[in-house]
């Protein structure tokens, strides 16, 4: 039970928030707006799952928002050029994996600090998009929005995709040898190497998988609008890192589960609409989110001190 303390704490806070909304703002639970909120957060969940893997290896990637933007623009341009979505999707995922591989190669191959590497690639990608697009949106052809299924069915499809990614990665971390390798490398890379693992390959794979998740999430975001913003992923890196940390993944690596990441994302995502429904000033949103993140970091520090 102690190992699930963070998840239980986040679940309790989330449950309390939902009870407050059920009593004082039942309109929050109306199906259509709630489904729209969850569909908007579905791409974030996919990226957060990938970010959790990177942080579990004791690394971080703050360029993921720029990767998301680059993949979004690429997917939009391909769709506008007449490519079917069946080809746009793998192309965007492949682009994301390549961008993640660049980060992974610099971090794992050259031993450079991940915070420095990904800061450099974040700025490079963002400025490159600014120069290439000059703020111009990409107009999408008919049939791309909601994959031609209509809004309700399209939102349901996005939720299914996000759920499938979450369940697949959660089961892989728990039951596959590759998942145990991620935890081992994050706990002690040198001990993992002496045990016969290859920490550099594991780290490279984690960065590539995060990039692939960013590419998939970009397509999931593209189909929700008739246009693609050139900087659609601005701020995404902070949002997913916050969800991962609040959900109990140790920033020092080696500890945490995707179930907590899911709960953390829901908690942070529900704050803004909850304030709206409760008629509380919107400027409290960032303050509340910051307080939750700070408490999560303090709790993680305390857990680290208590561990043998």
The predicted-structure confidence for 236-266, as pLDDT tens digits, reads as follows: 999 999 999 999 899 889 999 999 999 999 9
| Count: domains in the chain | 1
Tell me the CA distances in angstroms from 281 to 33, 49, 215, 273, 277, one per residue in order.
20, 31, 35, 11, 10
pLDDT surpassing 60 at residue 269 = yes
pLDDT surpassing 60 at residue 172 = yes
Kindly give the interhelix angle for 5-24 and 284-306, rounded to the nearest 10 degrees. 160
How far, in Å, CA of 114 to CA of 205, rounded?
14
Give the model confidence (pLDDT) of 174-202 as tens digits.
999 999 999 999 999 999 999 999 999 99
Q: For residue 304, what pLDDT is reported?
A: 58
Residue 114 lies in a domain: yes
pTM of the model: 0.95
Residue 27 lies in a domain: no
Residue 22 lies in a domain: no
Judge whether 61 and 114 are in contact, CB under 8 Å.
yes
How far, in Å, CA of 62 to CA of 239, rounded?
10
Residue 140 lies in a domain: yes
In terms of residues, how long is the chain?
A: 308
Residue 270 lies in a domain: yes
Tell me the CA distances in angstroms from 195 to 107, 180, 192, one per residue in order.
21, 12, 5
Which tokens sit at 47? 């990226």
Of residues 180, 210, 177, 225, the one with CA closest to residue 101 = 210
Residue 204 lies in a domain: yes
Give the model confidence (pLDDT) of 70-102 as tens digits.
999 999 999 999 999 999 999 999 999 999 999
How far, in Å, CA of 101 to CA of 223, rounded?
26
Other Cβ atoms less than 10 A from the Cβ of 54: the count is 30
How far, in Å, CA of 195 to CA of 180, rounded?
12
What CATH code is carried by the domain that includes residue 80?
Answer: 1.10.3470
Residue 19 lies in a domain: no
Beta strands per DSSP E along the chain? 138-139, 227-228
How far, in Å, CA of 6 to CA of 298, rounded?
12
Q: For residue 308, what pLDDT is reported?
A: 43
Residues 6+ apart with CB under 8 A from 277: 21, 25, 27, 28
Residue 16 lies in a domain: no
Phi/psi for 227 (5° steps) reads -135, 155
Q: Which domain holds residue 219?
A: 2-11+34-300
Which tokens sit at 272? 């803004």
How far, in Å, CA of 206 to CA of 216, rounded?
15
How far, in Å, CA of 58 to CA of 297, rounded?
15
């Amino acid at each position: 039970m102690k190992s699930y303390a963070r998840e239980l704490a986040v679940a309790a806070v989330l449950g309390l928030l939902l009870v407050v909304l059920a009593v004082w703002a039942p309109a929050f639970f109306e199906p259509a707006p709630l489904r729209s909120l969850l569909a908007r957060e579905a791409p974030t969940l996919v990226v957060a799952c990938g970010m959790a893997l990177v942080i579990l290896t004791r690394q971080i990637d703050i360029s993921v928002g720029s990767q998301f933007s680059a993949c979004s623009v690429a997917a939009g341009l391909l769709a506008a050029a007449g490519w079917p979505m069946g080809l746009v999707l793998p192309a965007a995922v492949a682009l994301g994996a390549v961008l993640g591989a660049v980060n992974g190669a610099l971090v794992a191959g050259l031993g450079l600090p991940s915070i420095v590497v990904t800061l450099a690639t974040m700025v490079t990608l963002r400025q490159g998009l600014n120069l290439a697009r000059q703020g111009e949106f990409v107009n999408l052809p008919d049939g791309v929005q909601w994959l031609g299924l209509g809004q309700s069915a399209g939102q349901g499809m996005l939720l299914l995709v996000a759920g499938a990614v979450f369940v697949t990665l959660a089961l892989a971390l728990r039951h596959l040898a590759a998942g145990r390798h991620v935890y081992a490398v994050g706990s002690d890379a040198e001990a993992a190497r002496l045990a016969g693992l290859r920490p550099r390959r594991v780290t490279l794979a984690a960065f590539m998988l995060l990039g692939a998740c960013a590419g998939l999430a970009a397509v999931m975001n593209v189909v929700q609008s008739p246009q693609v913003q050139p900087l659609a992923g601005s701020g995404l890196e902070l949002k997913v890192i916050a969800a991962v940390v609040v959900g109990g993944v140790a920033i020092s690596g080696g500890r945490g589960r995707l179930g907590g990441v899911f709960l953390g994302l829901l908690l942070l995502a529900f704050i803004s609409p909850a304030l709206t429904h409760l008629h509380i000033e919107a400027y409290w949103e960032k303050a509340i989110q910051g307080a939750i993140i700070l408490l999560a970091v303090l709790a993680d520090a305390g857990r680290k001190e208590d561990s043998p």
